[in-house]
Structure 1
Amino acid sequence: MKSIIHTWRHVFKLDPDRSLTDEELEAVCLSGTDAIIVGGSSGVTYDNTVELLSRVRQYELPCVLEVSDLEAVVPGFDLYLIPMVLNTKNPEWLIGRHSEAVERFGYLIPWDMVIPEGYIILNPASTAGILTEADGTLSASKAAAYAQAAERLMSMPIIYLEYSGMFGDMELVAAVRRSIGQTRLFYGGGVADAETARQAAQVSDTVVVGNIIYTSLPQALETVQAVKGKDMTLN
């Protein structure tokens, strides 16, 4: 199951703390996207995560949890993505909270379903950037160095460039992609229509689309075809 991440070109990221009607969720899940990531920076609870998982499970596509709060970890997902913020100024977000989780729940952790993500947060004004005390002012060469160190020294299978609410510097993203080999490069942030989706797809391996789902679903759905290059008709 872990190897499936290397086939993903487009994924939708759904926030348990935000609402979608049944019809909207159906459109997302039948859009042709490769997977659903469930996660958010705030307001994520066990109850709202369980509810969203149960609704997504009606559809046949991978559903994975990006763990942001130990109290909101729910069994039943296909995989569990564990963010490790590479450019944080606070080691709690790189390894501190992770070691706490292992100490408390190590005997319960399904290690064969766990995938670490090397997060590089590049919007310092975002909720995630503020919370994790990330240095969001990295140059392209510095970001690439973080990514290469994560791949070579930490064997991370995913590097996630997170601009969280703003469209990023595609030249920086391209530089990071050139610096790594087998590690999968995820891009997220500000993908708001087909054109931004195409730009992100040209310089990353996997494009993550999130916020636009809740503000303009038709534009969000257009990003699938833009990234995957398929002619899809959405009912």
Structure 2
Amino acid sequence: MIPSFYSGWRHAFKLDPDREIGDEALEAVCLSGTDAILVGGSSGLTYDNTVELLSRIRRYELPCALELSDVSVGVPGFDGYFVPMVLNSRRREWIVGRHVDALREYGHLLPWESAVGEAYLVLNPDSTVARLTEADTELTAAEILAYSQAADKLWNVPVLYVEYSGTFGDMPLVRRIRDSLRQAHLFYGGGIDGPDKARQAAGAAHTVVVGNAVYSDLPAALATVNAVKNI
């Protein structure tokens, strides 16, 4: 049976092990009422900084999951693991290559009972993740919907993550994606800098992920929790 530890999440904060967050700010995030903490980032992740962040989050009683984008940061002790693939990458390694390499060496160590596939659509060309993965972001709405259908209906990927990292996306399109899904759970992330955009995203996706605002405007980030939960 596919794990579903994320199925009840409406709101999650995404924390990057490579970015500094003080103890008071971390406490505010963890006690905010969010459903979960998602740990991940596009660069600068190491085993040590991931372990350190997990140990700090574990002072609080809330779910914490890891995006396992690199086998070197495969830290045990998370409640769940997302294994991401970038559907619209121009490089095979970000769709399946890195995954095969990792499983060849470490597949016997992966906690399959708490790991799920996560299909990304990266749609902001100026984001770090788009540059890193060489994502094709010049897609029509029809192409974006087709990618989502491939992930959802052909491959039965449990989680589809629409990522506009650094800018706020097209919410009517995100809603169309959600309405077209048969079984995948839709995450949305990107440009959520306060409660208004959080409410819009919550009306379009199953789960709203807030990341950069934690580091740039903590009060606004914290306000997104109630904005999402009160819809």
Residue aligning to 1:46: 47
| Cα offsets for 1:56-111 (capped at 9, x unmatched) | 00111110000122211101111110111111111100000000000011111111
- The CA RMSD measured in Å over matched residues stands at 1.2
TM-score, scaled to structure 2: 0.97
- Structure 1, unaligned runs of 5 or more: 231-235
Residue aligning to 1:79: 80
Residue aligning to 1:63: 64
More displaced stretch, 140-149 vs 38-47: 140-149
More displaced stretch, 105-114 vs 42-51: 105-114
| Cα offsets for 1:164-217 (capped at 9, x unmatched) | 111011122112112112211100000000000001111110000000000110
Does 2:119 align with 1:111?
no
Are 2:35 and 2:62, in contact at CA under 8 Å, matched by a contact in 1? yes
Are 2:153 and 2:182, in contact at CA under 8 Å, matched by a contact in 1? no
Amino acid at match of 2:32: S
Are 1:140 and 1:175, in contact at CA under 8 Å, matched by a contact in 2? no
- Structure 2, unaligned runs of 5 or more: none
Runs of 4 or more off by more than 6 Å in structure 1?
none
How far, CA to CA, are the matches of 2:145 and 2:85 in structure 1?
Answer: 16
TM-score, scaled to structure 1: 0.95
Residue aligning to 2:6: 5
Amino acid at match of 1:167: F
Q: How does 1:1-235 map to 2 (within 5 A)?
A: 2-229=3-230
SS at match of 2:154: helix
